[in-house]
Amino acid sequence: MSGPAAIDSLRLLSYNIQTGADSQRYRHYLTRGWRNWLPHREQMPNLDRVAELARHFDIVGLQEVDSGSLRSNFVDQTQYLASQAGFGDWHSQVNRNLGALGQHSNGLLSRFLPSRVEEHKLPGNLPGRGALLAVFGEPGAELAVCIVHLALGQGGRRRQLGYVSELVNCGYEAPELQRLLQQAGLQEPPCRQPSFPSWRPWRRIDHILVSNSLQVICAQVVDFPLSDHLPVSVEIALPLNLQLCLATASQPLIAQSAEARL
């Protein structure tokens, strides 16, 4: 770890990588559905492609990663991407632990050392959804980054976003997301482009939301059709009083756990 880094902006990426499976048509959900449960020969080359994309960013939030089970050939995909893309810190949050059959996770890649990382279990009818919260900087001048992968149903998303707003996988127009923007003091999604499905996008279900106190320099959906989702990116201007420390060693972070209020 080194001292404070002098930077004036931060590049963030959010990407649902579908565990390294490549979907290019709706029919692939059927013909390639087995790739969600078993390793395949394209998986590691696909992860290498994701790593090449990720290396252009400072902080990357990942959804649908595997933390080391049969379907990933027992590779922790977050750790692998961190190593391949040259990130100093990484963390994976296992939200659905199926033992050797699956380690369904969120992931964080960071070039800066968080002051703390928290894992939160989100409420819902079925287990397996979580929020990974990383806080950077010192008290009084902090930047919080929260990575979530929400439920498919509206009722589950409403409960989960209600929880997150006290600490987004739904469309921007969804009322539960609008409530989050109001309750948490967040701006509307700065990128208006659709991100799903990647081969013919028409739905806006991937977002990077920022607080009203931050200035967005640019935002876009990245033309990278590998997963069934397209990545979304945002560059933000950093407040002058925020000090970030570069991380130089790739190692997992110690997480503080918190249970969701049901």
pLDDT, tens digit (0-9, with 9 covering 90-100), for 127-138? 668 889 899 988
> Is residue 60 situated within a structural domain?
yes
Overall domain count for the chain: 1
Helix 154-166 vs helix 175-184: crossing angle, to nearest 10: 0
> How, if at all, do strands 4-5 and 244-245 pair?
antiparallel
Residues in the chain with pLDDT < 70?
Answer: 1-6, 124-128, 151-152, 156-157, 160-177, 180-181, 183-184, 189, 249-262
Instruction: Read off the pLDDT of residues 242-259 as tens digits, 9 standing for 90 and up.
Output: 888 888 754 444 444 433
Contacts of 172 (CB under 8 A, 6+ apart): 188, 189, 204, 207
Cα(24)–Cα(65) distance, integer angstroms:
19
> Is residue 261 situated within a structural domain?
no
> Is residue 147 situated within a structural domain?
yes
> Is residue 87 situated within a structural domain?
yes
Coil vs helix vs strand at 184: helix
CATH code of the domain containing 81: 3.60.10.10
Rg (CA), the chain: 17
> Is residue 262 situated within a structural domain?
no
> Is residue 177 situated within a structural domain?
yes
Tokens of 24: 């290019």
CB 109 within 8 A of CB 82: yes
> Is residue 131 situated within a structural domain?
yes
Q: Which domain holds residue 187?
A: 4-256
Instruction: Read off the pLDDT of residues 86-108 as tens digits, 9 standing for 90 and up.
Output: 999 999 999 888 899 999 999 99
> Is residue 22 situated within a structural domain?
yes
